Structure 1
């Protein structure tokens, strides 16, 4: 290296190093933004308020700032609903291990059978699956309030003569700003690895 070049690097090494560091930081944040942009905004969710089983009320906007995974169930469901909640309980533990559950991520379970799913019944259901209610909300309301929420999420519910329900088997990922970002299948159709990946991206 010539004396002139050596002198240049001696004088400007700090400036060059700082510029490289800035480019690296911009690249990292740019990549994170690009990743999040790959999960498209499907729709802005309407706000809603329902009753939590702990006696308080839950309003969707009050949990803005957290990523929300939302499921719709009825506790007398013999198959899809309990299988989905069981899978969510496993995801809860994985998110806890990453320090995300409760602080950055919340789960929301809404019953569309409020007549039978009393607060006591819902609490027993939550306890059965080991749900941590500091970050997992089990909600109910009067029939009109619940129907308004199911309609906004695009859930079809049809009560059967035997008291069971035919319903859309979908769950939803809502971002920190109240936007629906993903729809997922329930029970055996859940790809938990990809769901966790989506949740972690949006929680960053």
Structure 2
């Protein structure tokens, strides 16, 4: 083949390679767009902005909700003498704790905050026993309490109903609350048998990856 023919051949293949590269790039971009339109998860909307609050941890020290900022928070409300829904929920959260640990998320990207609302019986010592009974890893799971006026301020902010009944127990809202790293309340999940761990895990990961 002449030198001119070789040059024409090289130019032909160079142009075709460029077209091929461009076509592959277009297909890849189209695939990404299609994924986002069809398969990607819908953004979890912001329900409301939460204020910081101060309570007491199970060591009797000050706990500030702001200290957990930057991490996804799963917030639950319980009382340690609860005979049913609270321990059932805490047991599921303990399972979720282990699942998140396996993926390296617990403590680093996700923390749990369990707020006890019976100031008379939910003492620091009672919270310590409760946490230990469920195998809670307190490096990333905070059990906190407060006096009645402090707790009322927090329950009002989250929209949690709490009322002591004639049996000395509490009737209360059956929700857990998913809060993002910027103190935005993003989603309500159930408690006990109404708590879907699969969906909750999916939502947590989505917020972590935002």
| TM, length-normalised to structure 1 | 0.87
Among candidates 1, 14, 32, match of residue 7 of structure 1: 14
Among candidates 30, 46, 52, match of residue 47 of structure 1: 52
- Given the alignment of the two structures, is residue 159 of structure 1 paired with residue 200 of structure 2, yes or no? no
Q: Which runs of 4+ in 1 moved over 2 A?
A: 2-5, 7-10, 34-38
- Shift in alpha-carbon separation, 1:57–1:36, aligned structure 2, 3 A: farther
**2:16 & 2:182 partners in 1: Cα distance?**
47
Among candidates 107, 126, 130, match of residue 131 of structure 2: 126
| TM, length-normalised to structure 2 | 0.85
- Shift in alpha-carbon separation, 1:36–1:114, aligned structure 2, 3 A: farther
Alignment of 1:136-155 (within 5 A): 136-155=141-160
Based on CA coordinates, which of the two structures has the bigger radius of gyration?
2
**1:58 & 1:20 partners in 2: Cα distance?**
51
Using the TM superposition, give the Cα deviation of residue 35 of structure 1 relative to its aligned residue in structure 2, in angstroms. Answer: 5.1
**Secondary structure in structure 2 of the residue aligned to 1:138:** strand
**Secondary structure in structure 2 of the residue aligned to 1:40:** coil
RMSD: 2.6
Alignment of 1:162-181 (within 5 A): 162-181=167-186
**Secondary structure in structure 1 of the residue aligned to 2:66:** helix
Alignment-derived partner of residue 192 in structure 1:
197
Aligned residues: 197
